[in-house]
Chain A
Amino acid sequence: MAKGYMGKLLIVDLSNKSFREEDISEEVYRSYLSGTGMGAYYLYHHIPQGTDPMGPDNLLGFMSGLLTGTGSVMTGRWSAVTKSPLTGGWGDANCGGNLSIQIKKCGYDGIIIGGKSPSPVYLFIQDGAVSFNDASHLWGMDAIESERMLLEDNKDKGSVAAAVIGPAGEKLSLISGISNDLGRYAARSGVGAVMGSKNLKGVVLKGTKKIDSDNPEQIRAISKEYIEKIKNAKLPGLVKGSMLPIMGLLTGKQKTYGPMDGMMTASAMKKWGTIANNTMGIPNGDNPIKNWSGSVRDYPWRSYRSINPDSIINRETKKYSCHSCVIGCGGICDVKNIDAIKGDESHKPEYETINAFGPLLLNKDLESLFIINDMLNRGGMDSISAGNTIAFAIECYENGLIDKEYTKIELHWGNVQAIIELLRQMIAREGVGAVFADGVKKAAEAIGIESEAYAMHVGGQEPGMHDARMDPILGIHFAADPTPGRHTVGGGMYYNIMHLWDYVSWAPKVSKGSVKADDYIASDEIGLKSAANACIKQVLDGSGGCFFALATGFNHWRLFDYLNAATGWDMTPDEYMETGRRIQSLRQAFNIREGIIPMDNALNDRMAGNPPLKEGPLAGKSIPIGEMMKTHFKHMGWDENGVPDIEAR
């Protein structure tokens, strides 16, 4: 009997409305875990080389995690996996909420969907049965209303979860995502467009299967210890959001660093969620400003005080937690007095959304950020990609590459109405929005070669809201990950907090007094750290684990012990890291097979600091990104061009 995992995938073909179950051997689970790893294994072997990402031969997987539902905590994440129409290579996107547990309760570790329906459909999956249902009445409806309607229509069937696309996905925007839990997003890689290309509006899940584990007592004991620590991680009431810039400033001025205690950072996540970084990262250069060309001088305190996280949680009426989460970084906000938002409540904006539509665009209007957040959640568009794209549009406009005759909108920095209007047009793919609806790279191709200097993307995907000139290891992952531009693979600070070196024999130890300037050199130590980040991230995503659990450190959140207790495998941390390396190598091999040249994904000059900024906390900072990528590839066991030998793994 399978332990931890369910032992099979559900394979659905929309073209002929058929489905089947496919058993997966234990050997495959040991080699690739579940989640993204299992998705990579299956899709690598079943998507033919050269497949059109928007065609019926592309597959779209909804993958749960190996630890989801086992009694472990912080393990309720799911991943969408596919061939990305945005990058042309491997695509995945990770999300929380309550979908992952329902995938497993239906009896599967993943649901793989191929083919194309001739008309809009939604799937209803209950334990072993699949029904194909007309979704014409939902087509054109926003993601939140669609999900509400699907949940309402199926409420007689008990507790259900649903994943849907909004109008952006229907209109095949390459920067569209998939929503669940009324506005949580698997946003990256253009996964929403793939779902839209299949005329698949939604997937509704209702399962009753039991999820077994090998040693439930041990899982409970690990969880209990972690929950107790998290419960105690509570900031004093005297600590206010207005103090965060000072903390950021102090952190930024440090010339050295050492190991950190993630349980202390968890206290900030509990209080504010990801928006704790809204103002903390501006004085130290972490938050990109003015399309990655500016600094705190362009968006000073009198601007960024408007996005003080306290001003946001003042609207928070309740905390929101994903399945099995004990931190609760999410929130539901009261937006009754914001006329432009439909309904009384909305998900609390995440940091990435705030920064991509705030400092990145020199927008200091907090109310507009709530409106934009709701538009993105309803429209089904990736906030990171959309914000970067509008920043690109504004810079093109300000520099005369496009004008009002072309845009019909006065696209100036900080022009709130213009930003909202362009976003509306992008989601609806109408007017000039059609030029920008597919992200920065496509828009730059349309506007012309002169615009490329303003086009902030990596391998076609727009980067997350953290600046590699502040954290060069983050820059390696932006450039070298098979899904480029991803901010949730790892970084220097995450490495310092994970304490991997206490478990993994080859992970470099971080000692007090480590010199920050050394992070800007393409050394073997940095390459080993980035390789460790890449490997553990794949173990995390194979487990359904939350990145913010990783960020509390493995000295607290005992991932390796959880995995062994769930499966009974008795694998060592080094062996799990090899599993992570195997998954990462397969993701990379997928890209190589599609003709992607990894070194082409090096950061562009602006993001790498060539030339460096002249003022602000990042003044003078640049990254030897090409050398760093090669060092990373070396420590991943790949050749110097980033080509893995997957047969050897």
Chain B
Amino acid sequence: MKIKVYPPPFINAEALDEDNYIEINEGDTVRQIYEKLRIPLVLSPLVYCTVNYKKAKLNTPLKEGDIVSFISFMSGG
């Protein structure tokens, strides 16, 4: 299963392919995305995260085609 991830700016996004897709397994939740992206779980209260543009928690389940977005601010232009 593949989902799309918009990562936060402060992580190494090597786990994502060039179009920001990542393979997940049946039963995976947002917690697995934190782990794959090596985002410290302790930051989760501060790291605003949505699944399909609805606020997500660490135990929010994921399915094929989901879009997971993390907090990112625009500075410039």
Residues of A within 8 A of B (CB): 228-229, 232-236, 238-239, 243-244, 247-248, 250-252, 254, 258-265, 267-268, 276-277, 280-281, 284, 286, 466, 470-471, 473-474, 487, 490-494, 497, 511-513, 551
Contacts and interface: CB of A to CB of B under 8 A. Distances in A.
B71 interface: yes
B20 A280 contact: no
A330 to B, nearest CB: 18
Contact of B53 (A233, A284, A491, A513): A233
B72 A494 contact: no
A190 B45 CA distance: 47
A233 B17 CA distance: 26
A512 B13 contact: yes
B53 A229 contact: yes
A471 B76 contact: yes
B48 A235 contact: yes
Given A232-B54, A260-B6, A511-B19, A284 B13 contact: no
Interface of B: 6-7, 9-10, 13, 16-20, 45-46, 48, 50, 53-55, 67, 69-77
Contacts of B6: 259-261, 264
Contacts, number: 105
Pairs of residues from A and B, 5 with the lowest C-beta to C-beta distance, nearest first: A491-B77, A261-B6, A511-B18, A261-B69, A250-B10
Contacts of B13: 258, 512
A77 to B, nearest CB: 17
Contacts of A487: 77
A286 B76 contact: yes
Contacts of A243: 46
B31 to A, nearest CB: 17
B46 A236 contact: yes
Contacts of B20: 258-259, 512
Given A236-B48, A490-B77, A264 B72 contact: yes
Contact of A265 (B18, B45, B72): B72
Contact of B50 (A232, A268, A490, A551): A232
B53 to A, nearest CB: 4
Nearest to A477: B77
Contacts of B77: 466, 471, 473-474, 487, 490-494
A551 B71 CA distance: 15
A250 B74 CA distance: 12
B75 A263 contact: no
A248 B55 contact: no
B55 A251 contact: no
Nearest to B77: A491
B69 A251 contact: no
A39 B75 CA distance: 31
B19 A512 contact: yes
A497 B74 contact: yes
A248 B10 contact: no
Most central of B7, B46, B71, B72 by chain A CB within 10 Å: B72
B48 A260 contact: no
30 contacts: A232-B53, A238-B45, A238-B46, A239-B71, A243-B46, A248-B75, A250-B10, A251-B73, A251-B75, A258-B7, A258-B20, A259-B20, A261-B6, A261-B67, A263-B69, A264-B50, A264-B69, A264-B70, A264-B72, A265-B72, A265-B74, A267-B71, A268-B74, A281-B76, A286-B76, A474-B76, A474-B77, A491-B77, A493-B77, A511-B18
A251 B72 CA distance: 9
A243 B75 CA distance: 14
B48 A239 contact: yes
Contacts of B69: 261, 263-264
Contacts of A281: 75-76
Contact of A239 (B18, B46, B55, B74): B46
B45 A234 contact: no
Contacts of A262: 74
Contacts of B16: 512
A470 B71 contact: no
